[in-house]
């Protein structure tokens, strides 16, 4: 009896073991091992548990208020740097470190040394082979200020939420060019971290540029962690380096020094920027260039202190009126061209080819739903809709250029802030004649312009306002000015001048100039740069075979031009997935989860191609085409040769 019971138990155990083995074998057959590093990486990013973990990454990083422009937020910038360094290590990157531009040993006056520069995060993986290119991936983890109490945020900017197919919060988005969602369950997230207003999901936060850099990190992780089993070697097809910056939103003032000091560490064959944007969710865009920037401040003073407007108003100079006149002097009122003498020095564009690309963008259409389930073609850029989206009533700007040409290809000089007199709440008044006023000016620059030269021209202009008014008091001043203007005109120069009405309002005012720490050199990528060719191919694949349009960015990313100056002249291809609807730098900034997912696939595919994957032969042909095109245009790029495949 006991023997039969033991036999029965053995039979049952054998049956159970057979069933478990059969299930294991069936599971392995149902999920064949990936046939390539590309397949393995794509499988890795498509796993639901990884998707959920990737979104949690974004929520965690966006919840850090790493505002580089506010001194009180410096600890949060440091905290974001630590978070990013730990995330790089988790992804499998090596040599991860937080580094800074070296400070001087003492201040300019021999006193205390300046405070340390903001942190940057570096990591690399350099085991693809000496014959493989090194790709530098750039992003930034600092963000713009955001205040839920003074700005119309639907949810707090640093308490990111998932709502309506996107993540909402400050820093969630990447940049937009112009200023169907999928269902997504998030069981790993605490209910307090998100709200649901529809069956689709989005994350609310400021995505510029935390969502962008995370997509790139997660794609590299997919190669390093998504191989054929734990025992297989990593399958990343190209050498990579990461540089994540902590002061891009204040113009990267320490970046040149940083790159100069760490040029050997950051040596690469080409760069990809995770900061950037796409023109549409259904059509890709190749960013051909970025405007640069220069900023300054105009201060005016008319009195030693504010005075009673009933006693002195109308008999002494008013600083607010003088400030308005100084600001008006910056532009020609008829053409809206910048009236600063020397401002356009070096500007040769836009070229006929650039304007043709803008025209093609303006004529492009994309397919979108019309609300009834029907897909209909709509203009990629509709000027009337664009104006309505920001509450503008008319398109204005330099005569002779379209709206997009003004935003992308022409330099500008914009007032970004003014202060003078009483600034109390609406409905209140203080009867004074103000003694002082101040305006902050930001110029956006195009290739051919240099920030320091533009600032020098602006300084001459502002100081010229004083010189002109002092001279106007002497006899014959008007005739002298007219003669000087005529002589300057004969040699192709122009004298600083304000509209007649402004000249009188400036009488009695003392204007002064101060540069502001926001500066960037304009950047233009080579049309034949192989990194750009790779991005073009991947965008075409991601968008069903549609060729991407060529675009420019009116904003600035200082790193692109800085890399070209300090890292052997390398080109940077912008490869990011933010959209215009994301409200970058604005209240209710967000990032579509569908675009976040697309960014991971995009980086997986572009790294595969840059590593000489299935499409590598076409990339090599693109190199040869690029060399031939450069020779046909009158010369090559002048970059140094390398034994590696160059990007």
Q: Among the listed ranges 272-276, 471-475, 540-544, which one has the minimum average pLDDT value?
A: 471-475
Residue 635 bridge partners (DSSP):
none
Specify whether 302 is located in the same domain as 166.
no
- How far is Cα 30 from Cα 27, in angstroms, rounded to an integer? 5
Measured CA distances, 464 to 240, 457, 496, 505, 533 (Å): 51, 10, 7, 15, 48
Confidence of residue 508 (pLDDT cuts 50, 70, 90): very high
CB 161 within 8 A of CB 641: no
- How far is Cα 608 from Cα 611, in angstroms, rounded to an integer? 5
Specify whether 490 is located in the same domain as 537.
no
Tell me the angle at which helices 48-62 and 593-610 cross, rounded to the nearest 10 degrees: 110
Specify whether 77 is located in the same domain as 150.
yes
Confidence of residue 108 (pLDDT cuts 50, 70, 90): low
- Give the other-Cβ count within 10 Å of 414's Cβ: 12
Measured CA distances, 37 to 43, 216, 281, 521, 644 (Å): 10, 16, 27, 38, 21
Specify whether 419 is located in the same domain as 464.
yes
Report the pLDDT value the prediction gives residue 635, as an integer from 0 to 100: 40
- Rounded to the nearest integer, the mean pLDDT of the chain is 83
pLDDT digits (tens, 9 = 90+) for 550-580: 999 999 899 999 999 999 999 999 999 998 8
Confidence of residue 175 (pLDDT cuts 50, 70, 90): low
What is the domain count for the chain? Answer: 2
Position with higher pLDDT, 118 vs 615 = 118
Q: What is the CATH number of the domain that holds 512?
A: 3.30.70.360
Instruction: Judge whether 405 lies within some domain.
Output: no
Nearest to 41 by CA among 609, 608, 616: 608
Instruction: Judge whether 456 lies within some domain.
Output: yes
Instruction: Judge whether 15 lies within some domain.
Output: no
Specify whether 558 is located in the same domain as 507.
no
Report the pLDDT value the prediction gives residue 584, as an integer from 0 to 100: 79
Specify whether 304 is located in the same domain as 175.
no
Specify whether 206 is located in the same domain as 78.
yes
pLDDT digits (tens, 9 = 90+) for 180-218: 322 333 333 333 333 333 333 444 344 568 999 999 999
Q: What is the mean pLDDT of residues 91-100?
A: 97
CB 148 within 8 A of CB 182: no
Specify whether 444 is located in the same domain as 585.
no
- Give the other-Cβ count within 10 Å of 259's Cβ: 21
pLDDT digits (tens, 9 = 90+) for 391-429: 999 999 999 999 999 999 999 999 999 999 999 999 999
Residue 522 bridge partners (DSSP):
none
Domain boundary residue among 460, 495, 520? 520
- How far is Cα 544 from Cα 110, in angstroms, rounded to an integer? 62
- How far is Cα 354 from Cα 552, in angstroms, rounded to an integer? 9
pLDDT > 90 in the chain, percent: 64
Q: What is the mean pLDDT of residues 530-535?
A: 94
Q: Among the listed ranges 139-143, 192-196, 226-230, 608-612, which one has the minimum average pLDDT value?
A: 192-196
Specify whether 197 is located in the same domain as 54.
yes
Specify whether 224 is located in the same domain as 329.
no
CB 508 within 8 A of CB 319: no
Q: How far apart are the first and last CA of the chain?
A: 78
What phi and psi, each to the nearest 5 degrees, are found at residue 231?
-85, -10
| pLDDT of 47 above 60 | yes
Q: Please classify residue 269 by burial: count the beta carbons closer than 10 Å to its beta carbon, then call 0-12 exposed, 13-18 middle and 19+ buried.
A: buried
Q: Tokens standing for 229?
A: 């089993």
* Omega before 209 within 30 of 0, i.e. cis: yes
Q: Among the listed ranges 122-136, 305-319, 612-626, which one has the minimum average pLDDT value?
A: 612-626
Q: What is the mean pLDDT of residues 129-146?
A: 94
Q: Please classify residue 49 by burial: count the beta carbons closer than 10 Å to its beta carbon, then call 0-12 exposed, 13-18 middle and 19+ buried.
A: exposed
Nearest to 74 by CA among 114, 116, 32, 22: 116
Nearest to 604 by CA among 123, 216, 308: 216
- How far is Cα 507 from Cα 269, in angstroms, rounded to an integer? 57
Element (DSSP H or E) covering residue 261: helix 255-261
Instruction: Judge whether 393 lies within some domain.
Output: no
Q: What is the CATH number of the domain that holds 555?
A: 3.40.630.10
Confidence of residue 179 (pLDDT cuts 50, 70, 90): very low
Instruction: Judge whether 28 lies within some domain.
Output: no
Domain that holds residue 343: 292-347+411-473+484-520
Specify whether 275 is located in the same domain as 296.
no
| pLDDT of 6 above 70 | no
Report the pLDDT value the prediction gives residue 114, as an integer from 0 to 100: 74
């Amino acid at each position: 009896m006991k023997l039969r019971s033991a036999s029965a138990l053995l039979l049952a155990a054998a049956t159970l073991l057979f069933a478990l083995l059969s299930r294991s074998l069936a599971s392995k057959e149902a999920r064949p091992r990936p046939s390539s590093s590309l397949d393995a990486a794509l499988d890795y990013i498509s796993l639901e548990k990884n998707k959920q973990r990737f979104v949690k990454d974004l929520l965690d990083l966006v919840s850090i208020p790493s505002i580089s422009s506010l001194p009180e937020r410096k600890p949060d910038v440091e905290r974001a740097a630590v978070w990013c360094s730990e995330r790089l290590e988790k992804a499998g990157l090596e040599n991860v470190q937080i580094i800074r531009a070296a400070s001087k040993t003492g201040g300019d006056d021999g006193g205390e040394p300046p405070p340390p520069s903001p942190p940057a995060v570096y990591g690399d993986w350099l085991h693809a082979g000496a014959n493989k290119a090194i790709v530098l991936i750039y992003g930034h983890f600092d963000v713009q200020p955001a205040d839920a109490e003074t700005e119309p945020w639907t949810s707090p900017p640093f308490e990111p939420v998932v709502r309506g197919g996107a993540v909402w919060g400050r820093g969630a988005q990447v940049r937009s060019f112009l200023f169907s969602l999928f269902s997504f369950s998030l069981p790993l997230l605490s209910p307090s971290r998100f709200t649901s207003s529809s069956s689709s999901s989005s994350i609310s936060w400021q995505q510029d540029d935390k969502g962008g850099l995370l997509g790139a990190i997660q794609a590299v992780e997919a190669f390093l962690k998504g191989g054929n089993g734990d025992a297989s070697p990593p399958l990343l097809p190209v050498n990579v380096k990461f540089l994540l910056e902590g002061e891009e939103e204040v113009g990267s003032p320490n970046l040149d020094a940083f790159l100069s000091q760490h040029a050997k560490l950051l040596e690469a064959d080409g760069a990809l920027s995770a900061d950037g944007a796409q023109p549409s969710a259904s059509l890709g865009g190749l960013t051909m260039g970025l405007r640069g920037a220069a900023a300054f401040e105009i201060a005016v003073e008319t009195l030693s202190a504010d005075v009673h407007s009933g006693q002195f108003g109308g008999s002494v100079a008013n600083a607010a009126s003088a400030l308005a006149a100084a600001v008006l002097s910056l532009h020609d009122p008829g053409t809206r061209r910048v009236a600063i003498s020397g401002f356009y020095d070096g500007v040769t564009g836009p070229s006929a080819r650039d304007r043709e690309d803008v025209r093609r963008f303006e004529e492009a259409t994309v397919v979108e739903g019309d609300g009834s389930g029907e897909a209909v073609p709509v203009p990629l850029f509709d000027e009337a809709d664009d104006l309505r989206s920001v509450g503008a009533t008319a398109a204005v700007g330099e005569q002779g250029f379209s709206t997009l040409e003004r935003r992308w290809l022409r330099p500008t000089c914009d007032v970004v802030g003014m202060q003078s007199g009483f600034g109390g709440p609406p409905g209140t008044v203080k009867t004074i004649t103000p003694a002082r006023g101040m305006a902050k000016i930001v110029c956006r620059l195009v290739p051919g312009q240099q920030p320091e030269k533009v600032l020098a021209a602006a300084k001459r202009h502002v100081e010229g306002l004083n010189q002109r008014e002092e001279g106007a008091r002497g006899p014959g001043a008007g005739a002298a000015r007219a003669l000087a203007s005529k002589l300057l005109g004969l040699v192709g120069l122009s004298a600083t001048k304000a509209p007649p009405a402004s000249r009188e309002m400036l009488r009695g005012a003392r204007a002064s100039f101060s540069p502001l720490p926001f500066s960037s050199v304009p950047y233009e990528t080579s049309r034949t740069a192989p990194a750009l060719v790779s991005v073009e191919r991947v965008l075409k694949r991601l968008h069903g075979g549609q060729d991407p349009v060529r675009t420019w960015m009116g904003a600035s990313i200082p790193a692109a031009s800085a890399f070209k100056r300090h890292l052997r002249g390398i080109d940077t291809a912008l490869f990011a997935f933010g959209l215009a609807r994301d409200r970058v730098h604005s209240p209710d900034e967000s990032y579509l989860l569908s675009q976040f997912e697309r960014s991971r696939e995009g980086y997986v595919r572009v790294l595969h191609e840059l590593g000489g994957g299935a499409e590598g032969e076409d990339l090599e042909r693109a190199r040869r085409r690029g060399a031939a095109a450069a020779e046909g245009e009158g010369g090559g790029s002048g970059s140094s040769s390398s034994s590696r495949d160059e990007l």
